[in-house]
Amino acid sequence: MGSSLIMVFGFIAVFGALYYRITQTSESDDTVATVNNAVVPDIAATLSLPTDLGVLIDVSLSRGQLVASFENGPDVYTVLIINRADGSIVERYEMRRAAD
């Protein structure tokens, strides 16, 4: 009798869990995109960059600012520090490899 009661409670728990999962809606059902179970926000801003930049090679976030690196040719690089709040270019660095 005791083991039968435990089995009945087990079935009730399993079917209750299945019912709960089926009837719940998730945020991923809406228009919010997910990548690796993390919510990806909508596009925050569109930045207009100078036309003299070469190929984008790296973008990172540092102290609330975007740091973008570009390769402009052999041994010539540009690094832009961009304000995330308004998209303005805070600083621009040109780097060239020294000749041996």
Domain count, the chain: 2
Alpha helices by DSSP H, listed for 2-97, are: 2-23
Mean pLDDT of 56-60: 88
Same domain for 53 and 9, yes or no, is: no
Q: What DSSP state is assigned to residue 97?
A: P
Same domain for 66 and 88, yes or no, is: yes
Same domain for 31 and 47, yes or no, is: no
Same domain for 26 and 55, yes or no, is: no
Kindly tell me the sign of the dihedral angle through the C-alpha atoms of 94, 68, 65, 49: positive
Same domain for 47 and 31, yes or no, is: no
Confidence of residue 75 (pLDDT cuts 50, 70, 90): confident
Tokens of 100: 């041996």
| pLDDT tens sequence across 9-51 | 998 999 888 888 888 765 544 445 565 667 766 777 778 888 8
Residue 71 one-letter amino acid = E
Same domain for 82 and 48, yes or no, is: yes
Residue 46 has a pLDDT of 78
**Which residue, chain included where needed, has tokens 């083991």?**
3
Range of the domain at 4: 1-40
